[in-house]
Structure 1
């Protein structure tokens, strides 16, 4: 497969979301490099959010196993995962990455990092919509799962 055809396939499978995601994560990280003086409670809150986010990302990745893909299209031969964190929320990795970004912004006292985290959360909303369309097409049982499971935060959204 030639490079142009690989790029075309990447774009068709939602690669623009992946590229934007990595750019936004980089912007969150870079904007948090410059920090304001923050108190001990703010540091504790930031570190707690980061620890929670990291644990959620790691657990979500473990639950997906071989089904894990950055693209919003399921891999060939993928199976629908509805256990572990996926039994409580449909997109735990996205939720965890947002919690990491929020924690970083709070820890560093960085409005810029928090703003880019809000942009990342917005991107994840649209990426999740694209992903759910693909999952519905591939897995008929996804419709019932979607009805009983919140998208990003258990019991809320």
Structure 2
């Protein structure tokens, strides 16, 4: 796993990639001008809304699970004063906020019927998984108990992945 680049002392490059992709996904969904066939529009809208709501719930649970906020950072390297959080949403998944971004981005792409946003969501999946791998290297170095937590907890989406 150590072959994943840091992209900065605290992983700043991963955050830049993440923000750029989120912006592209958002704009691609807004810019969609190709009319979709009616059944696709309805199914896409329903599935998209469900995924957006699931993503919002998972993201809020992830943020609220970081009680004091000392562990909350977009950067993959843990803060010096932080502790390993394995309760709340973090008892179900190791990276609930990343999972929320994944669910939300695919939900947005489906809601808007945007193939370009869907392609951006696929790119975001790749970036967040690589960022997760880099983050877990640093978490394993900092917290000896992380290895056990990692074996018993899913990555991004409760009960699924």
User: Is the CA contact (8 Å cut-off) linking 2:41 and 2:113 kept in structure 1?
Assistant: no
Distance 1:98 1:53 in 2: 7
Cα shift at 1:43: 1.2
User: Is the CA contact (8 Å cut-off) linking 1:34 and 1:108 kept in structure 2?
Assistant: no
Q: What is the alpha-carbon root mean square deviation over aligned residues?
A: 1.4
Unaligned runs of 5+ in 1: 1-9
Cα shift at 1:109: 0.3
Deviations 1:63-95 (A, max 9, x none): 124110000011111010001111011111101
Distance 1:46 1:156 in 2: 18
Partner residue of 2:13?
A: 16
Q: 1:31 aligns with which of 28, 31, 55?
A: 28
* Number of residue pairs matched by the alignment: 148
Distance 1:154 1:50 in 2: 15
Distance 1:150 1:139 in 2: 18
Cα shift at 1:155: 3.6
User: Is the CA contact (8 Å cut-off) linking 1:89 and 1:154 kept in structure 2?
Assistant: yes
Deviation larger for 146-155 or 45-54: 146-155
Partner residue of 1:138?
A: 142
Cα shift at 1:41: 3.0
User: Is the CA contact (8 Å cut-off) linking 1:72 and 1:130 kept in structure 2?
Assistant: yes
Cα shift at 1:154: 3.1
Partner residue of 1:64?
A: 66
The alpha-carbon distance between structure 1 residues 156 and 46, as it changes in their structure 2 partners (threshold 3 A), is: closer
Q: TM-score, normalised by structure 2?
A: 0.87
Cα shift at 1:58: 1.1
* Structure 1 or 2: more helix by fraction: 1
- SS state of the match for residue 41, structure 1? helix
Q: TM-score, normalised by structure 1?
A: 0.89
Unaligned runs of 5+ in 2: 1-6
Deviations 1:101-128 (A, max 9, x none): 0110000000110110010010011100
Cα shift at 1:141: 0.4
